[in-house]
Amino acid sequence: MSVNPEDPRVKRTRQLFVRAFNDLVEKKRNVYSISVHEITIQATVNRTTFYAHFQDKYDFLEYWMMEKFQMTIRNRLPEETRCNADNLRILIQTIFDFLLRFQQCSTPGDKQFEAMFENTMHQGLHRLLLKRINEVDTQGFSEGKLEAMALVISWGIFGSALQWSRNPQDRSVETMFEEVIEVISVNLSPFWEQITG
């Protein structure tokens, strides 16, 4: 990629594309039919600029989903939020809510992007957990163990929420949510006790 994603101008331009895409999704009610041409016209930015930021529509869609996912989490758990059992509950509830809304808003044509979006969401959750875990006192835990811990927790949360969101009528969200909390709490209690004091 030929741009620096940390450059404020790059961030502003990308936000133009994200806002334009959100407006188009609002109008069209699907993702699959929106073209790069439509995104650039809506954003009033030329195609060359779009391709300086993103390889193609798929690259943009990954970015868009990551932004949407991270913003949802930031709204519920601000950056300075401490890593503890209460905030883990909020995080899990946020993931369940987000995936349910994602499934409810998906159209048949959007199914082609489902695996990509799910992978992007899981990566975002894994990175967030790893970052939060590394922000607390983790003496006695190697870097490899912390990485494995974040991976196991993220897959446990995400996989459970994803499975439930595909058939929410099978079990209530409260039941599923409490079971996930119980499993994670029981299996990770020694870890949580050490890092949350």
What's 112's DSSP letter? G
- pLDDT of 74 > 80? The answer is yes
CA dist 17 and 140 (Å) reads 44
Q: What is the dihedral sign for C-alpha 133, 195, 191, 160?
A: negative
pLDDT at 138: 64
CA dist 188 and 182 (Å) reads 10
151, 157, 160, 163 alpha-carbon torsion, rounded to 10°: -80
- Encode pLDDT of 97-127 as tens digits: 999 888 888 888 888 899 999 999 999 999 9
- Encode pLDDT of 39-72 as tens digits: 999 999 999 999 999 999 999 999 999 999 999 9
- Encode pLDDT of 139-154 as tens digits: 677 888 888 888 888 9
Contact 96, 110 (CB under 8 A): no
What's 121's DSSP letter? H
